[in-house]
Structure 1
Amino acid sequence: MSYANPPRKIALVGIGKIARDQHVPALQASSEWELAATVSRSGSVEGVEAHDDFDAFLAARPDIDVISLCLPPQPRFDYARKALMARRHVMLEKPPGQTLAEVHALQRLAATQGVTLFASWHSRMAAGVAAAKSRLVERVVRGARITWKEDVRKWHPGQDWVFEPGGMGVMDPGINALSILTEILPEPVHLVAAELEFPENRHTPIAARLDFTGNVRAVFDWRQEGPQTWDIEIETSKGSLALRDGGARLEVDGVAEDLADHPGEYPSLYARMADLVARGQSDVDLAPMIHVADAMTLGRRVTTAPFEFDKEKT
């Protein structure tokens, strides 16, 4: 007689909007995971053991050997380092850190400690991405246009950290597009020019225009009201291909593809994490973040109107 393995205990650190909207539902629906604890200064999940001090949690619950960090990128390195030093497997929300050097340090530490480190890119798990990648294998890419425009007030309401150093500004959603681009293109591209719009009262950009080799261009904007736009349109030697709604829909020559049932981006991420832990492997692909870092060094700065989350202050 065979028995299914019991769910593996996991702790969720940082109970904010993304944790409530995506991580908690994915974990609660999974047969592979048991959300055994949360760590947050102010948030909690009903029915789940709650902690407000990470060091105390690590000492109190050595039986929870997997930790998912949903904190903003600024404090994430210190939490990840403590978790890895305690020999816990760690999953990082995107972007995986404030800087490339931070994540490289975590990668080395995870290898030394013999634990898994997963730098997750949720948009790569969108329903149409794998199919688009498969289609492009047999085509020559002539060029691509990325349009990623959304409303920061809707997706990051009152979250000033996105405009602080390390918060990346509009690159926070833009990196989702770059994670798809770096996943599906048969040949890599690199940035050659950029223009970044900084509100005069903020430290990170609210809009960006990026030019890459291979005739690839991207426009990111955090000021879009009404319908939101997350499109990647690609011209190839055999016609056109487009990923829309952040990769949820695939069109080939203007015709929507019939995609198989998809479990969702975050359930797919946690399935990937379970597999990595079981295999004793790590997955730390920094290609999307390299493009962001390049934009910050190559980008021409343009100052634009001040931004406030409260429209009445603008």
Structure 2
Amino acid sequence: MARTKVALVGIGKIALDQHVPAIAASPDWELAATVSRKGTVAGVSAYTDFASFLAERPDVPVVSLCLPPVPRFDYAEAALKAGRHAMLEKPPGATLAEVHTLQALARDRGLTLYATWHSRMAHAVAPAKAWLADRAIRKVHITWREDVRKWHPGQDWVFEPGGMGVFDPGINALSILTEILPDPVHLTRARLEFPANRQTPIAAQLTFSGNVTADFDWRQEGPQTWDIDVDTDAGRLALRMGGNVLEIDGQPMAGENTIMGEYPALYARMAQLVRAGESEVDLSPMVHVADALTLGERVTTVAFDF
């Protein structure tokens, strides 16, 4: 069966590290074009202007947008108005309202819009959700600490308005939380640490209903920590390695110690949605971030530079 052509828009670190290998390995997709001011992929037609791509390549029905959140809306809107299905890197936009606008546009034009959450595709998330489904949750704690210099080297946009700061990785944890818990929770308190020279937080401590807490920090050097611990009436569940390894009462039960299965699963899901003529846009992780930025206590910490 012929593979569907897809264009990647925004050829930066995440596109090269994850999207390009996932598409190359997929039985569903052919990388037919890229759009980027600077980045390219060897052997693939490259455009620097999105309007030119849309005008010249009607044969490419799907665009995958890997741009930072702030400029992404204009590209997604243009793609949908040009009759293309759109796949959005997380977070799906800079604001909730703009994603609602894209939802309505896709619906009205009969197009697929997929707001992706790659951490939900981690190997152990589905078995964790199944295990928790009929258990009483007593306590949840998230520890999500990583090194911004490693994952976003020199990318100042993450500290500009709309860049989300530490919530760029933290929203991955929230995407897992909202997927695995049997019942929804809501934010009740937040403490946000802003570097003196930056516009978005570098660390956050969150408290939710249901005895759920989270600790996000972008200053951790050495080994990185992506853990979710859940105490229940039937034992303790832990997700390690960003949701890729499941432990029950300290014993490994499911998953694989790698993050490389997440993006292939996203592209497989996008293929399903396009074939079915459906969209998938769950904004619950982004709602928690918006609530934290609304409700959070702001604390100024030392300046940060790459």
- Which range, TM-score by smaller chain? over 0.9
**Offset from partner CA, 1:276-313 (integer Å, 9 cap, x none):** 0000000000000000000001000000000000xxxx
User: Do residues 11 (structure 1) and 7 (structure 2) align?
Assistant: yes
Mapping 1:166-205, distance limit 5 Å: 166-205=162-201
Q: Which residue pairs with 2:271 in the alignment? A: 274
Amino acid at match of 1:219: D
User: Do residues 71 (structure 1) and 71 (structure 2) align?
Assistant: no
Question: Which residue, 246, 262, 268 being the options, matches 1:265?
Answer: 262
**Offset from partner CA, 1:104-123 (integer Å, 9 cap, x none):** 00000100111000000000
After TM superposition, give the deviation of residue 31 of structure 1 in Å. 1.1
Q: Which residue pairs with 2:241 in the alignment? A: 245
Pair 1:52–1:107, CA change in 2 (3 A): same
Partner SS for 1:306? coil
Amino acid at match of 2:12: G
Separation in 2 of the partners of 1:217 and 1:52?
Answer: 43
Pair 1:248–1:212, CA change in 2 (3 A): same
Pair 1:234–1:261, CA change in 2 (3 A): closer
Separation in 2 of the partners of 1:260 and 1:69?
Answer: 27
Q: Which residue pairs with 1:165 in the alignment? A: 161
Partner SS for 1:165? coil
Q: Which residue pairs with 2:99 in the alignment? A: 103
Amino acid at match of 1:86: A
CA contact (8 A) 2:241 2:257 kept: no
Partner SS for 1:289? helix
Q: Which residue pairs with 1:20 in the alignment? A: 16
Q: Which residue pairs with 1:50 in the alignment? A: 46
Question: Which residue, 95, 106, 111 being the options, matches 1:115?
Answer: 111
After TM superposition, give the deviation of residue 258 of structure 1 in Å. 3.7
**Offset from partner CA, 1:121-170 (integer Å, 9 cap, x none):** 00000000000000001211111000000000000000000000000000
**Offset from partner CA, 1:81-106 (integer Å, 9 cap, x none):** 00000010000000000000010000
Greater mean alpha carbon deviation, residues 250-259 or residues 277-286: 250-259
User: Do residues 217 (structure 1) and 213 (structure 2) align?
Assistant: yes
Q: Which residue pairs with 1:230 in the alignment? A: 226
Pair 1:260–1:196, CA change in 2 (3 A): closer
User: Do residues 297 (structure 1) and 303 (structure 2) align?
Assistant: no
Identity of aligned residues (%): 69
Q: Which residue pairs with 1:133 in the alignment? A: 129
Q: Which residue pairs with 1:312 in the alignment? A: none
After TM superposition, give the deviation of residue 259 of structure 1 in Å. 3.5
Separation in 2 of the partners of 1:125 and 1:306?
Answer: 35
Partner SS for 1:44? coil
Structure 1, unpaired ranges of 5+: 310-314
Amino acid at match of 2:226: W
Structure 2, unpaired ranges of 5+: none
Separation in 1 of the partners of 2:224 and 2:97?
Answer: 33
After TM superposition, give the deviation of residue 260 of structure 1 in Å. 7.6
RMSD: 1.1
After TM superposition, give the deviation of residue 228 of structure 1 in Å. 0.4
Pair 1:261–1:308, CA change in 2 (3 A): closer
Pair 1:114–1:93, CA change in 2 (3 A): same
Pair 1:303–1:259, CA change in 2 (3 A): closer
**Offset from partner CA, 1:250-277 (integer Å, 9 cap, x none):** 0001100144899700000000000000
Pair 1:306–1:13, CA change in 2 (3 A): same
